[in-house]
Amino acid sequence: MQLLDGKFVSEKLKQQIAVEAAEILEKTGRKPHLVAILIGHDGGSETYVASKIKNCEKVGFNSTLYRYESSITEEELLKKIDEINQDPETDGILVQLPLPKHISADKVTEKISPEKDVDGFHPVNLGRMQRNLPSFLPATPYGILLMLQEYGIETSGKHCVVIGRSNIVGSPMSILMARNTNPGNCTVTICHSKTPDIKKFSLDADILIVAIGKKNFVTADMVKDGAIVIDVGMNREISTETKSGYKLYGDVDFVNVAPKASWITPVPGGVGLMTIVGLLKNTLASAKKEIY
Ligand code: GUN
């Protein structure tokens, strides 16, 4: 078994991003600028947004965080997004999900200008992605592609099974793995909560990508010998063992699955760190006007 080491790869790629950010500053006199919007006080969202902001600083980007209470109306939020869309000093906008129930994630996603949609969630970017046109790729799937690329993992002709069909991970991931690109060119199966026997499919996976949001969902009996296992799970549980008071668990029973896998991502230290790299690369691409 070999580890797909998100810490190592993310640090390496962030160094490259920092070099490019410095070049942009030198050429244009400005840094790439990410604006993040965080609504409410969800513990996970607070942690992820703080990490995004901190990493912007690390690579030499500007960042702005707008915080709102959960009582903000949908109309107020949409108006704010419109304002940021118009601001020439902003390269990327993200609204951290999930949102309070009274705010439509679909409306918010569609309000963000596709040209600043560094999360890659806008239907225009998703459509362009599917057509293999230049687009911002959703940050987590993008981070996974970068990881596979970095380790030189051959995906062409493999059977990739994606467990989970969310808009953020499972659905775009399945499209990317089936595209005629490298990484890609897989035969893809998507499993989800209504799939009666997930094990039947997962056992046939050469590449198993798990984004279902359930601790230890994938057990050793569900994995083929030699499979490549990518764990997107970020299941937070209260713990006295850590400084933060929380411990992160993946969707894969790492201890028992790892001995069967050829490659596997740990949690923490795997995909989560690569998501931030995906976001930073999209923001950089926006500042360089590489997509639009
Ligand atoms: N919530 C969970 N993952 C993400 C992400 O990649 N972007 C945003 N905006 N919210 C999220």
> Predicted confidence band at 61 (pLDDT cuts at 50, 70, 90)?
very high
Catalytic residue among 119, 206, 231, 253: 119
- Give the closest residue to 175 by CA, choosing from 191, 162, 192: 162
pLDDT for res 75: 98
Q: Please write the tens of the pLDDT for every residue from 179-218.
A: 999 999 999 999 999 999 999 999 999 999 999 999 999 9
Which amino acid belongs to residue 238?
A: I
Residue percentage of the chain with pLDDT more than 70 = 100
> What ipTM score was computed for the predicted complex, to two decimals?
0.97
Map out the domains of the chain with their CATH numbers.
Answer: 29-113 (3.40.50.10860), 139-272 (3.40.50.720)
Cα distances (angstroms) measured from residue 139 to each of 117, 221, 276: 11, 30, 7
Determine whether 119 is an active site residue. Answer: yes
> Predicted confidence band at 244 (pLDDT cuts at 50, 70, 90)?
confident
Q: Please write the tens of the pLDDT for every residue from 70-93.
A: 999 999 999 999 999 999 999 999
pLDDT for res 32: 98
The whole model's pTM is what?
0.97
User: What's the residue count for the chain?
Assistant: 292
Determine whether 14 is an active site residue. Answer: no
Backbone angles phi, psi at 161, to 5 degrees: -110, 125
Which residue has its alpha carbon closest to ligand 1 atom 8?
96
Helix (H/G/I), strand (E/B), else coil: 183: coil
pLDDT for res 43: 93
> Predicted confidence band at 54 (pLDDT cuts at 50, 70, 90)?
very high
* Residues within 6 Å of ligand 1 by CB: 94-97, 119, 139-140, 168, 275
Q: Which among 77, 84, 95, 96 is the best mutation to test ligand 1's pocket, defined by most ligand atoms within 8 Å of the CB?
A: 96
Spatial neighbors of 261 by CB under 8 A, at least 6 apart, are 1, 223, 226, 227, 228, 229
173 and 144 Cβ atoms separated by less than 8 Å = yes
Q: Distance, CA 207 to ligand 1 centroid (Å)?
A: 23
